Amino acid sequence: MSNRRPYVRSMDGWWKRDAYFIRYMAREVTAVFVAAYAIVLLFGLVRLAQGEAAFNGWLQYLKTPWMLVFHLIVLGTFVYHTWSWFNIMPKTMPIMFVGGKRVQPGTITGSGIAAAVVACLAVLLIVKGMHP
Amino acid sequence: MADAEKIIEIEVLRYRPEQDKEPVLQTYKVPFTDDMSVLQGLQYIKDYLDGTVSFRWSCRMAICGSCGMMIEGKPKLSCKTFLREYYPQGLRVEALAHLPIERDLVVDAADFVAKLERIKPYIIPKEARTLEQGEYLQTPQQRDMYEQFSSCINCMLCYAACPQYGLNPKFTGPGVLALLHRYNADSRDGGQDERMKLGYADEGFWGCTAVGYCSEVCPKGVDPANAINQNKMNSAINYFTRFVTPGRADK
């Protein structure tokens, strides 16, 4: 008869066990803020379809203190989301070679972040151009 | 000249199935020198303090993959980790997380080994060649496509780092999926179709949520997270092309 009795440990609270897991969970949670902001923008689109007065009402609402605080929080989570997303990007891509040399993970992350910064600046400039 | 002898406290998570209902901690005071690994600390315990402590080891030089354990909560090879890093506060060693404890620091690796066998971790030649035809040639770039993944020593540290495996042991897991990719990415291999059935299954690539800790803890720089996640694209392409490719609805 076997005396084997393998012991399986509990996974309760696993994500608090290691700082790496906490950062992972933080990255996943930021996706909720991205979704929340998408809903805010979609709501704006609905108000736009309802006419100018409705849309202006929505714009006014965005300027209330609570919404400004919400925007600041969302901005913070977006920055973390963007950074963490590009940080994991090298892991999601096939191995690439440029000029016979392997593209380093840092180059992929750096290019992604640079592209995000350029895209944000471009959008800001376009919006600024529409409202001089 | 020999270093002055210092004493470090090593807390070992004990589990003796015949007497312990659940694992318990036991502390040992171990004299050590700066060049001693955690494994050597455990060997000191076994030789001089308590012969009942069980742990696996073999090569002492990070190539056999036997001595993986949680050291202060991190999956590490105990032969590649030095006691001096934990002096004077001491350290706790436990069996690798997410795997069943067989006894003390020894885990039950049966699930890992069964999964490893399933992915056929060997080259299945693309074309049969006779001796007269010579060897299978490969360019340095073709070799680079799989070389890092071939450094796996089956130490299972990545399993102890993978919460998805801990939460759902049916998940094939980082190490085995990295080896699946290692053979699939080899230009000499022709076994992709057989292996990808396992990769595309629910227990395959999609069980990974890109935590990425597996690649962080790998003592051989294998980067399992990359091996798995680059295949999600292949899996998605495979899924959608079934609708436009005649005669391959089965894949």
Nearest-Å Rg of the Cα atoms of chain A is 22
Asked if B100 is an interface residue toward chain A (Cβ–Cβ < 8 A), one would say yes
Task: Answer whether residue B181 shows pLDDT above 60.
Answer: yes
pLDDT in tens, B67-111: 999 999 999 999 999 999 999 999 999 999 999 999 999 999 999
Q: What is the pLDDT of residue A81?
A: 93
The pLDDT mean for chain B works out to 94
The one-character DSSP state at A11 is -
- pTM score: 0.90
Q: What is the structure's pLDDT at B75?
A: 98
Domains held by chain A: number: 1
- Concatenating the DSSP letter of every residue in chain B gives -PPPPEEEEEEEEE--TTT-SS-EEEEEEEEE-TT-BHHHHHHHIIIII-TT-------SSSSS---EEEETTEEEETTSSBGGGGTTT-EEEEPPTTS-EEETTEE--HHHHHHHHHT--S--BSS---GGG-PPP--HHHHHTTGGGGG-----HHHHH-HHHHH-TTS--HHHHHHHHHHHT-TTB--HHHHHHHHHSTTSGGG-----HHHHH-TT---HHHHHHHHHHHHHHHHHHTTTSTT-TT-
Give the pLDDT mean for B182-209: 94
Model confidence at B250, pLDDT cuts 50, 70, 90, reads low
The 8-class DSSP code of residue A38 comes to H
Is the C-alpha dihedral spanning B234, B239, B244, B249 positive or negative?
A: positive
pLDDT digits (tens, 9 = 90+) for B127-180: 888 999 988 899 999 999 999 999 999 999 999 999 999 999 999 999 999 999
In a domain, A5, yes or no: no
Range of the domain at A115: 15-130
The topology under which CATH files domain B6-107 is Ubiquitin-like (UB roll) (3.10.20)
User: A49-106, pLDDT tens digit by residue?
Assistant: 999 999 999 999 999 999 999 999 999 999 999 999 999 999 988 888 888 888 999 9
How many CA atoms lie less than 13 Å away from B195 in the CB half-sphere?
27
pLDDT digits (tens, 9 = 90+) for B6-16: 999 999 999 99
Q: Do B166 and A8 touch (CB under 8 A)?
A: no
What confidence score (pLDDT) does residue B128 get? 84
Question: Hey, which residues 55-94 in chain B have their CB within 8 Å of chain A?
Answer: 73-74
pLDDT value at A23 more than 70: yes
Peptide bond preceding B31 in cis form (omega within 30 of 0): no
Q: How many CA atoms lie within 13 A of A29 on its CB side?
A: 12
- B47's CB contacts (< 8 A; 6+ apart) are none
Q: Is B212 within 8 Å of B225 (Cβ atoms)?
A: yes
pLDDT, mean of residues B190-204:
93
CA distance B92 to chain A (A): 14
Q: Would A4 be classed as within a structural domain?
A: no
B163 and chain A: CB distance < 8 Å anywhere? yes
Is the pLDDT at A118 greater than 50? The verdict is: yes
Residues B221-233 have a mean pLDDT of 93
B144 interfaces chain A, CB cutoff of 8 Å? yes
Q: Which amino acid is at B64?
A: C
Nearest CA among B59, B191, B50 for reference residue B120: B191
Probe site for chain B from A5, A17, A30 (most B CB atoms < 10 A): A5
Give the gap in angstroms from C-alpha A28 to the nearest C-alpha of chain B: 10
Residue B1 has pLDDT above 50, yes or no: no
Question: In this structure, is residue A42 part of a structural domain?
Answer: yes
Q: What is the rounded distance in angstroms from the CA atom of residue B231 to the CA atom of residue B223?
A: 13
* CATH (domain of A47): 1.20.1300.10
Asked whether residue A33 is assigned to any structural domain, the reply reads yes
Name the residue among A14, A24, A91 with its Cβ closest to that of B215: A91
Residue B155 tokens, joined: 């130490």
Facing residues of B103 across strands?
B106
ipTM for the whole complex? 0.89
**Domain regions of chain B by residue span:** 6-107, 110-241
Rounded CA separation B103/B18 (Å): 10
Whether the Cβ atoms of residue B101 and residue A9 lie closer than 8 Å to each other: yes
Q: For residue A73, what are the CA distances in angstroms to A25, A29, A40, B83?
A: 17, 13, 14, 43
Q: How confident is the model at residue B237, as a pLDDT?
A: 87
* Contact call for residues B162 and B217 (beta carbons, < 8 A): no
Looking at residue A31, the DSSP 8-state letter turns out to be H
Helix (H) or strand (E) run with residue A129 in it: helix A105-130
| pLDDT tops 70 at residue A7 | yes
> Cβ of B229 and A91 within 8 Å?
yes
Topology of B110-241 in CATH? Fumarate Reductase Iron-sulfur Protein; Chain B, domain 2 (1.10.1060)
Longest dimension (CA), chain A: 85
pLDDT value, residue B4:
64
Q: Is residue A2 included in any domain, yes or no?
A: no
Per CB-CB distance under 8 Å, the chain A contacts of B100 are 6-8
For residue A34, give both structure tokens: 């991205």
The answer to whether the CB atoms of A97 and B163 lie below 8 A apart is: no
Query: Which of B98, B101, B211 minimises the CB distance to A24?
Result: B211
pLDDT of residue B52 exceeding 90, the answer is yes
Mean pLDDT of chain A, nearest integer:
93
pLDDT band at A3 (very low <50, low <70, confident <90, very high): confident
